[in-house]
Amino acid sequence: MRLMLVMPLAPWLLALGAALALGAAPALAFDPPLPPPLSIPPISEARRELVTRVVTYGPSPTVARCATRNVGAVHGAQFPPEVNVGLAPRGSPPGAPTRDDRPTAALIFAIDANGAPVDIRPAADSMTSQDMVAAFARWRFMAGPPVADCRVEVSRSYTPLSQASTATLLEIVAKRRRDAPSAARREISARGDCGKAPQRLPAQISYPDLRSFDDRDFVAPWAGLLYDIDAEGEVRNVRVVAQGGDPMLADLAGASAAGSRFHPGRPVNGCYVTYAARPRPSGAPMRSSARRAPSPDALPARPVKAAAPAKGEACGVAREALNISTQGAYPPALARERVEGWASLRFDVSPEGRIDAIQVLAAQPVDAFGAAAAAMLRRARPAPSAEGAKGCVVPVSFAMKDLVED
């Protein structure tokens, strides 16, 4: 009789046998790790490139189509051209459309009893710029009973930057002033040799006095000029290429340009200069125009609970201690168009002096004033107090008299 000694199998050997029986290869501890996957951009983005165009608008509408009636415009103006950057298929011809191009721009709004547009916002089916919204906020319609659900549309076209007329580019620079897009400035300079090194240094610069034009007209006058400089530094061949409004401003601008002098150097041509007066402020809509709160996109989402006004003088003290100013908070597009407005905010003040739970109750004529007021309020640092305050409400006015302008 033969005895056989049976030894128990180690657990790891049993596991190996089971894995082999199932056809799976065991992973070895010393196998090198797999390399990370390559980062490949989406095909749609990889095949697109940024293109810079100039947007020009067609004739402005004279009537707003509203829910119950049409309302005629009393003060309106041509929407100014803009520089636009979009995504076009790579290798497309210069005039190829981008995915965000729209043949028309549309705005939705209401009209208060004084004829001021309020609750202004871009239509959902329209890619509308903040510059256009700001320009429209200056408009005024026939006074009468307030009306809602109004809409205006205007056609627009896109031109490659290199193909835009010099007059259009000068208009953009003149109306945007210090905020003029650098792309427009570069394109104007590229059409002459004035901006090439070595540049001509000024010996005497003459500026027109525009004070008599400021704060006067609904549409402020402006002008864009080209000129040349000879070897001795004399300004030659001054020509007004584009202008709008009172032509007297263009005459003064031309005389001032001709009176400037430069240090001797190489002759250059295609130098440019622009001037623009400030339009009169639009005036803020009535406080009773607050019929809706700003859209959710105006501020970051924040859960807000209605809070009772704070007792006693807690909120009054908090408001006095806020020490806030609209100087650095004025929305740029609205400041350029000299649009005035207001916002009403509710907030809490913690005992440590922190502003919390900011809610925009109303803002007119556009949501941007509410967003700007909320951003301004977040920077306030009132003095600490024993209990803080809850449910404080503060009005914020945006007026051009409080803004330092260039």
Mean pLDDT of the chain: 84
In this prediction, residues 285-303 reach a mean pLDDT of 50
114 and 68 part of one domain:
yes
In this prediction, residues 194-204 reach a mean pLDDT of 93
Computed on alpha carbons and rounded to an integer, the radius of gyration of the chain in Å comes to 32
Residue 366 scores a pLDDT above 60: yes
325 and 353 part of one domain:
yes
In this prediction, residues 7-31 reach a mean pLDDT of 47
Per-residue confidence (pLDDT) for residue 401, from 0 to 100: 84
- Look at 191-205, 319-333, 343-357, 387-401 and tell me which has the smallest mean pLDDT: 319-333
Query: Position 160: which residue type?
Result: P
Per-residue confidence (pLDDT) for residue 92, from 0 to 100: 84
Check residues 316 and 314 and name the one with the higher pLDDT: 316
Number of residues assigned to the chain: 406
- Look at 12-21, 111-120, 140-149, 312-321 and tell me which has the smallest mean pLDDT: 12-21
Tell whether 108 is covered by a domain: yes
Residue 258 scores a pLDDT above 80: yes
Tell whether 102 is covered by a domain: yes
Which among 256, 276, 296 is the end of a domain?
A: 276
Tell whether 58 is covered by a domain: yes
Residue 293 scores a pLDDT above 60: no
CA–CA–CA angle 227, 229, 235 (5° rounding): 70
Residue 36 scores a pLDDT above 70: no
80 and 157 part of one domain:
yes
Most confident of 66-70, 305-309, 325-329: 66-70
83 and 189 part of one domain:
no
Residue 384: CATH number of its domain: 3.30.2420.10
Per-residue confidence (pLDDT) for residue 382, from 0 to 100: 82
Q: Return the closest-CA partner of residue 268 out of 240, 296, 301, 234.
A: 234
137 and 185 part of one domain:
no
Residue 187 scores a pLDDT above 50: yes
259 and 292 part of one domain:
no
- Look at 141-150, 165-174, 320-329, 349-358 and tell me which has the smallest mean pLDDT: 320-329
* Domain region containing 349: 287-402
Tally of domains within the chain: 3
Which among 250, 276, 302 is the end of a domain?
A: 276
- Looking up tokens 């006693």, which residue turns up? 312
**Number of neighbouring beta carbons within 10 Å of residue 98:** 18
Kindly state the percentage of the chain with pLDDT values over 90.
63
Tell whether 109 is covered by a domain: yes
pTM for the full predicted model: 0.80
**Number of neighbouring beta carbons within 10 Å of residue 49:** 13
Per-residue confidence (pLDDT) for residue 22, from 0 to 100: 44
Per-residue confidence (pLDDT) for residue 27, from 0 to 100: 44
Which among 162, 177, 208 is the end of a domain?
A: 162
